[in-house]
Chain A
Amino acid sequence: AQRVTQPEKLLSVFKGAPVELKCNYSYSGSPELFWYVQYSRQRLQLLLRHISRESIKGFTADLNKGETSFHLKKPFAQEEDSAMYYCALNNQGGKLIFGQGTELSVKP
């Protein structure tokens, strides 16, 4: 079955520290993976997609098919990065399977 797992419900770091939000997936085929972010009182928005291999707001994510992982990383966390982060797998067109989410808290 297709599944996305985010093992950490809450990740708390200090400003300037490195951040890694973990995401593992289960999918039979070539996955289409995304990271979505939800800032307080804002809508869910796309942060990264694996296919574009881009860096957004200093975040990067590499797809590791051997480990079935798509971890989100940032070398130096900022307070404005505090938000809920969701890893998602695109399954059949417009159907997204989300992980449970990780709340990132960046302390000053």
Chain B
Amino acid sequence: KAGVTQTPRYLIKTRGQQVTLSCSPISGHRSVSWYQQTPGQGLQFLFEYFSETQRNKGNFPGRFSGRQFSNSRSEMNVSTLELGDSALYLCASSSVHRGYTEAFFGQGTRLTVV
């Protein structure tokens, strides 16, 4: 079974630009979540999509948005990039197994804003 795939692996963008990150979940998983990982703040939840609907949302500004397609693939968009958006963005796909949720993570997209 293929794991969670995130593309691209690395990105360098300029302040003010926008960026789109992509995540392909494990086949059969309908939930996709996004996290931001930074040395200072650790792992912070951005949002979760389930069956094309946003089910949960973290405390990030509206510049951060996402969507999920009918095949469960998800994209995350950040508009008007700021230097502080430099981070590793992780995607996780989840399934419920025997009554509990198990999340599988991708390798992440390293975003650098200059």
Q: Which residues of A approach B to under 8 Å, CB–CB?
A: 32, 34, 36, 43-46, 49, 51, 86, 90, 92-101
Number of interface residues of B (CB under 8 A): 27
A-binding segment of B11-19, B78-86, B99-107: B99-107
Q: Find chain B residues with CB under 8 A from A94 CB.
A: 31-33, 48, 50, 55-56, 92, 94, 101, 103
Establish whether residues B33 and A96, one from each chain, have CB atoms under 8 Å apart when the complex forms: yes
Residues in chain B within 8 A of chain A (CB atoms)? 3, 31-33, 35, 42-45, 48, 50, 55-56, 58, 90, 92, 94, 99-108
Check A32 against B103 for contact (C-beta < 8 Å): no
Identify B105's interface contact among A45, A93, A101, CB under 8 A: A45
Chain A residues whose CB sits within 8 angstroms of the CB of B35 once the complex forms: 96, 98
In terms of DSSP, what is the predominant structure of the interface of chain B? strand
B40 and chain A: residue at smallest CB distance? A100
CA distance A32 to B43 in the complex (A): 18
Closest Cβ of chain A to B63, distance in Å, is: 20
Question: Which A residue's beta carbon lies closest to that of B44?
Answer: A98
Whether B45 lies near A93 (C-beta < 8 A) is: no
Given contacts A44-B90, A93-B48, contact A101 B106 (CB under 8 A): no
